[in-house]
A and B are shown apart, each in its own frame.
Chain A
């Protein structure tokens, strides 16, 4: 936009020659004459760019500062107008283009969505389209309040939505609803159970009655620290057990991929074809169908007729390039990728701050398949809080009410 303004106003590259060209630069700056791209040529010569209209003022100032100025080149401005005057059709074309841009800027030609992580763009755009906002919509008629009232009940995952239009491009900004965190009440009787099967190496109990100890092997779901705790006043009381249980755990993860895979090799030949998209209509400049020929990679590139943040028109040129390839079966080299995937999966499954003590990979090829197995020994916290079941709570209450029966049992 700045460049366009410069071209319309006209700029001149000016050379200053004198004993002290700096004096002229200071004078220009203090008189409010804009200049830029000032480069020294030698001790007595400098070159700078200024608006062509300011050149006479610069000449006057140069005389006072004991310098000489000379326009090296000029572009745009009067030169451009002279050219337009000679070619009337060019002026008519420019005017028509300006009118087209002015008219098209009142409509939405491109929509983007920002701020969504879980709700897909397509779902939001479909909901907007159902409520009258899509490509080709007259944007001054859009009411954000109305849209929010219509779209938010349809998409309960969103808490807020706004449509901002800038030069025919609508940006839909959304905020996703934040789920309420799951709160664990201190008064809810809770057991600590093993989240994974393993052997406990360290147990630190802050509250509750330990059922397993260091060196115990526990299976997934087994209670490590019970929320039913002996009370000093006699009987049993229900508490929210708190503990950390560090344990050695074993993992065995397997991934399988085919032994051989088809590999593409570029054959060398390639050809392109073009199409024009106007609004929602497509004009193909080729005869065959839209499907790519076999044994070809299709690379599509859409070039919209727009200048970023200035204007967007509903016209785009599509270039489809077909690159021919030959395919041949070859041995797959995906083992390393599988190993990396398995390691990533292991890290996902491990508790936060867990350590991998040792790991081994086994690769087996059979029946046209490659099987990669990861066996790992880890050290991690396996304690998981699980609220006591109603039966457990009832058992504690019953034991408190009938201490003798409870003891006999």
Chain B
């Protein structure tokens, strides 16, 4: 079944456009297992030392030990700590 929100992604896919040009699509960059940069995040939903949950179009859950929010701006977020997994919901 078609979803209206999925149309831009479908169009970008057909036109071979990079995903990051679409509005609201988060981009996750994990360096080693100790640092993660999330661009175009949709805000913080849950924050604890072992789990950080981000909202937005597609929810991202980062699990780990001693997770720490190093910095957060309107678009970017830097998380440090021992990252064990990154999940999409």
Query: Which A residues contact B (CB, under 8 angstroms)?
Result: 21-23, 25-26, 28-30, 32, 34-40, 43, 46, 48
Contacts and interface: CB of A to CB of B under 8 A. Distances in A.
Contacts, number: 46
B44 A26 contact: yes
Contact of A30 (B45, B49, B71, B74): B74
User: What size tier do the contact residues of chain B reach?
Assistant: 10 to 19
A22 B74 contact: no
B72 A46 contact: no
A21 B47 contact: yes
Contacts of B69: 25, 38-39, 48
A26 B73 CA distance: 9
- The list of the 9 closest CB pairs from A to B, nearest first, reads A26-B43, A38-B69, A22-B44, A36-B71, A29-B72, A26-B44, A22-B47, A25-B44, A40-B48
A22 B67 CA distance: 14
B14 interface: no
Give the secondary structure class of A's interface: mixed
A37 B47 contact: no
B42 to A, nearest CB: 9
B46 interface: yes
A173 to B, nearest CB: 30
Contacts of A35: 71-72
Contact of A38 (B43, B46, B72, B73): B72
A25 B47 contact: yes
A67 to B, nearest CB: 13
Given A37-B70, A38-B69, A39-B68, A30 B43 contact: yes
Given A22-B46, A23-B44, A32-B74, 17 more contacts: A21-B47, A22-B47, A25-B47, A25-B69, A26-B44, A26-B55, A29-B72, A29-B73, A29-B77, A30-B74, A35-B72, A37-B70, A38-B68, A39-B68, A40-B48, A46-B47, A48-B69
